[in-house]
Amino acid sequence: MAGATGAVLAVTGATGTTPAGAERRERSRPLRRAQFRGMWVATVANRDWPSRTGLPAAEQRAELLAHLDTAVERRLNAVVLQVRPTADALWPSPYEPWAQCLTGTQGRDPGWDPLGTAVEEAHARGLELHAWFNPYRVANHTDRTRLVAGHPARVNPGWALPYGGKLYYNPGLPEVRRFVQDAMLDALRRYAVDAVHWDDYFYPYPVAGQVFADDEAYARYGGDFPDKASWRRNNTDLLVSEMSARIKEIKPDVDFGASPFGIWRNIATDPEGSDTSAGVQTYDDLYADTRKWIREGWLDHVVPQLYWNIGMPGSDYAKLLAWWDGVVRGTGVGLYIGEALYKAGDPAQPAAWRDPGELSRHLELAAAYPGVGGHCYFAAKEVASDPIGAMTTVVADHYPSVVRPP
């Protein structure tokens, strides 16, 4: 991969050769194990970047490069950039409009190519660039008239459903599933991205008192399933398995990864679930059988969001770490742990998060599990600002030098 190549060049020199003495010194010391050290850069609602809508192209570009430089300074080796936040695009897509987060107006050309620039500049710094897509979210509101004219969700009004104050593509429609794959794969065809990355949003998180109104699609397509939940899970399975196969057809060397909510099922629901009792379970509530995707080999790596502290009642980081290590064992699927850097120093979080050493202890604990190949930090804004020094502590304790990604 390009990021790995960049890391090697940084050590050996531009020609790829090493002086004889340096080569002997390198042989005399053990090689550091490859690790995934990533950070998410969220663009939805301008969470991390750009800092606000409507910045001139030069300022947008400068802010993006600053995030890449911060990743290098923190001795990270991968950036996971959100390039399709709300059924719009951070590249000139023939399928969907330019992203609103750039100019403030969906469909307006920002005057440059953010994804193309991100790939080029990340690779120049020895970083991998993972393109992060959200498959089904259309808008953080339900007013279709606020979408740009010609938006697929306006041209095809039957494709999208309102739920919980947001608008989503209906995962139960085969034409929707094919369209969102096509829209995402356009970026893969155009750019030398190192991975395709999905987050935790498939079917929407449940909202009390509201119903996701997919009865019509279920009546049309769900006849072979015992219940709607099984049909919904199959819809998500198809999205993942089809996308996996299509990625390998187009670019076999590009990885496919997903970052699910950290709890597949609680042990009280399923004896094979984790020793947890938190409210949301991906299998039951998001219709995402993440364990199956690993066992079937549809993913190259998984980045579960273990956004809890060690000892957290009902969702203990330590217990979930052990569970996920067991799930990937023997599958060949890489396991990188999603870390809640954004919680460090937040007074609204449990007291453990006000300790700058909490995240460092996560990495210390994870080092005992052979299946864990690295960590990814949410998110770029906190990697840079580091309000209580949690990221600085992680780097000092665990990242003494640059290493290549797995």
Cα within 13 Å of Cα(3), Cβ side: 32
pLDDT of residue 33: 75
Is 70 within a domain? yes
Q: Three-state DSSP class for 195?
A: strand
Whether 52 is in a domain gets the answer yes
Mapped onto helix, strand or coil, the DSSP state of residue 382 is helix
Q: How far is CA 406 from CA 43, 257, 258, 267, 335, in A?
A: 26, 13, 16, 31, 10
3 state SS of 133: strand
Mean pLDDT in order along the chain per 10 residues (406 residues): 34 33 34 85 98 98 98 98 98 98 98 98 98 97 96 97 98 98 98 98 96 98 97 98 98 98 98 96 98 98 98 98 98 98 98 98 97 98 98 98 94
The enclosing H or E element of 60 equals helix 57-73
Structural contact between residues 336 and 303, judged by C-beta atoms closer than 8 angstroms: yes
Is 266 in contact with 281 (CB distance < 8 Å)? yes
CA atoms of 291 and 98, how far apart (whole Å): 34
Within a domain: 406: no
Angle at 6 between CA 302 and CA 191, to 5 degrees: 65
**How many separate domains does the chain show?**
1
- Cβ neighbour number for residue 123 with a 10 Å cutoff: 18
Strands 36-41 and 372-377: parallel
**Structural domain contains residue 405:** no
pLDDT at site 16: 35
Confirm whether 325 is domain-assigned.
yes
Q: Is residue 259 helix, strand or coil?
A: coil
pLDDT of residue 114: 98
Residue 25 phi/psi, 5-degree rounding, is -65, -40
Whole-number Cα distances in Å, 277 to 171, 259, 280, 320? 28, 20, 9, 11
Residue with tokens 């993942």: 240
Measured over the CA atoms of residue 99, residue 102, residue 105 and residue 111, the dihedral's sign is: negative
State the helix-helix crossing angle for 390-398 and 358-366, rounded to 10 degrees: 30
Give the tokens for residue 402.
């640059």
Q: Residue 29 falls within a domain, yes or no?
A: yes
Residue 148 φ/ψ region, left for φ over 0, alpha for ψ in the -120 to 50 degree band, beta for the rest: beta
Segment (H or E) for 364: helix 358-366
Tell me which H or E stretch contains 326.
helix 317-328
Contact at 8 Å (CB) between 216 and 159?
Answer: no
Task: Measure the CA–CA gap between 172 and 217, rounded to whole angstroms.
Answer: 6
Instruction: Looking at 125-227, list the stretches that DSSP marks H as alpha helix, in order from N- to C-terminal side.
Output: 152-155, 174-190, 215-221
- Beta strands of 164-312 (E only): which ranges? 166-169, 195-198, 255-258, 301-302
The enclosing H or E element of 334 equals: strand 334-339
- What tokens were used for 362? 């996560």
Structural domain range at position 293: 2-398
The CATH number given to whatever domain includes residue 305 is 3.20.20.80
Say if 404 falls within a structural domain: no
